[in-house]
Amino acid sequence: MRTVYRGIWFGASLVLLLAGWEAVCRLFAIPPFILPPPSAVLLAVWDLREQLFGLHLWATLREVLMGLAASIVFGIALALAMNLSRTVERLVYPYIVISQTIPIIALSPVFILWFGYELSGKIAVTILFTFFPIVVSTYDGLRAADPEMVNLLRTMGATRWQIFAKLQLPASLPHFFSGLKVAATYSVGGATIGEWLGASEGLGYFGRRASGNFQAPALFASVLLLSVLGMLLFWLAGTIERRFAPHTRTNTPKQMKSQ
Amino acid sequence: MAVREKLAFAGVRFSYGEKAILDGFQLTVGRGELVSLIGPSGIGKSTLFQLAAGLLQPQDGEIRLDGEPAARRLGQVAYMPQRDLLMPWRTVVENAALPLEIQGMPRKEAQARVRQELPRFGLGGWADAYPAQLSGGMRQRVSFLRALMTGSDLLLLDEPFSALDGITRMEMQEWLLAMWQQTGSTMLLITHDIDEAILLADRIVVLLGSPISRPVELAVPVPRPRSLSSRSHPAFQALREQIWELLRQSTAAQPVGRYA
């Protein structure tokens, strides 16, 4: 019931925002190449639907999904390696922490230089954006297991593998998923910047071209689709989390009888 | 004695760096005995348990299980920690089945065995509930069941009821007495509650001194079966006074101590 109320409130505020935006554009006669009214943006989405949905959305989605998938695979692998070997951890972890402070956008042209203007370059930039949140959150999650719980398992005669499989891995899932949610939203930004730096397709390329031609409604249309894409990926990560880390759920099973 | 002895510390020395906790420590617990350990906080009760469970090794002397020197005790002694330490992502059944899984029993079989035990632990309808849905007393019963599922007949209970409210705690004390009588297990109980120590135990070991070497051992002459009304028994009250006096003397010697 609460979520229904929240939904109603959000819907109302959204309608209010769009109506206000539309009214401001019309009342003050703002030129559409500065700020197009929402109606013009939606119209642009409709007019350009074949280009946007037929070509550019798919191009960006492919970069995002491939980059994100690669980050998940390599990120988890590196986190596991650091968890398994103190040597790897000591060698690698400081650089992961330092790398968090480097402005990733500044590094993006370097990655394009190395990996080219093809698909591989965009995937590389997307990995650059999404790798660190996944490594850091997964590794922190693996280390987050309660040391008293580790000792309890040891008193039961657990092997190192059992401690990992029965305690560390499940305990790390909520951390991993919060990292994944961050990475899912970053991935869209990464792909967009990859496309800005040189591409022939994709929503980032499309938006930049529209901006150069002062086609504000088309630019806003691409921004809208990129935002929706980010939200969908975030929602997807949350859905997978609820499926695989059910203890973060707060609702109670129904079939409970009292003693 | 060799047959009846369940757990023995013989001349055990243990220190954390410069700070000696135990030196020449002697303690023998008989099979089926319920022994309470009491002493000021920080004196090393938890260290004693970690040694008994095999998480720590003595620097000198030996620890025996069933009369045999036991160098590797991990997996042989059941331990019930102060916090219930239930895994929030496992249901009641899955939590209690953990020691069986670790011993290599297939998951289904382990859970089936746990399910049979649940009614006896007052957890009948709660098999598939998550720990967050249970009361404090129920969580401690799951934790106790998990300790029993290790199959070990030596149980180390580390202040198991200290986090519970007064009424629940009294219920759990009576329940623990009943479980002890049913299972015939040997139990070692750390507590900072003198009444709890007397109510439950055959024998009370008062840990004093730094390092601890020869603890004061007191038999509890209160007749069994005991219940909460045993507290008014004259022997109960005399023993309570005696333990208070011992602890008072020790804190007088070490002004920074707190009764624990």
Q: Is the peptide bond before B225 cis (omega within 30 degrees of 0)?
A: yes
Averaged pLDDT, B171-193: 89
CB contact under 8 A, A252 and B87: no
CB contact under 8 A, A256 and B81: no
- Structure token pair of residue A31: 């030129």
Domain with CATH 3.40.50.300 in chain B: 1-77+154-260
Confidence of residue B257 (pLDDT cuts 50, 70, 90): very low
Question: In a mutagenesis test of the A interface, which of B46, B56, B80, B98 is the best target, namely the one with the most A β-carbons within 10 Å?
Answer: B98
Residue B254 pLDDT > 60: no
In a domain, A2, yes or no: no
Q: Which residues of B touch A255 (CB under 8 A)?
A: 128
Does B1-77+154-260 carry CATH code 3.40.50.300?
yes
In chain B, which residues have their Cβ closer than 8 Å to the Cβ of A257?
A: 124-125
Task: Using CB atoms, pick whichever of B74, B103, B126 lies closest to residue A155.
Answer: B74
Residue of A nearest to B84 (CA): A149
pLDDT digits (tens, 9 = 90+) for A69-80: 999 999 999 999
Where residue A162 falls among pLDDT bands split at 50, 70, 90? very high
Q: Which residue of A has its CA nearest to B149?
A: A156
List of residues 6+ apart from A240 with CB closer than 8 A = A177, A180
Which of A151, A170, A256 minimises the CB distance to B55? A151
Segment A20-56, tens digit of pLDDT: 999 999 999 888 888 999 999 999 999 999 989 989 9
Does some domain include residue A173? yes
* Residues B87, B130: Cα–Cα separation, whole Å: 9
Q: What is the pLDDT of residue B203?
A: 94
Q: What is the mean pLDDT of residues A103-114?
A: 88
Least confident range of A96-105, B53-62, B76-85: A96-105
Q: How confident is the model at residue B178 (pLDDT cuts 50, 70, 90)?
A: confident
The residues on A that touch B, with CB distances below 8 Å, are 146, 148-149, 151-158, 162, 166-167, 170-171, 173, 245-247, 252-253, 255-259
Domain count, chain A: 1
Residues 6+ apart with CB under 8 A from A164: A83
Q: Residue A98 is part of which domain span?
A: 53-245
For residue A254, tell me if it sits in a domain: no
User: B115-158: per-residue pLDDT in tens?
Assistant: 999 998 889 899 999 999 999 889 999 999 999 999 999 999 99
Name every chain A residue with its beta carbon within 8 A of the beta carbon of B77.
155
Q: Return all residues near B19 (Cβ < 8 A) that are at least 6 apart.
A: none
pLDDT band for position A256 (cuts 50, 70, 90) = very low
**Which chain A residues touch B88 with a CB distance below 8 Å?**
247
By C-alpha distance, which of B159, B239, B226 is closest to B193? B159
B179 band by pLDDT with thresholds 50, 70 and 90: confident
**3-state SS class at B28:** strand
Residue A252 lies in a domain: no
- Tell me if A157 and B75 make a contact (CB, 8 A cut-off): yes
Give the count of beta carbons closer than 10 Å to the beta carbon of residue A185. 18
Is B87 in Cβ contact with A167 (below 8 Å)?
yes
A92 falls within a domain? yes
Q: For residue A87, give the CATH number of its domain.
A: 1.10.3720.10
Determine, for residues A156 and B75 on separate chains, whether the beta-carbon distance falls below 8 Å: yes
β-bridge mates for residue B27, sequence order: B9
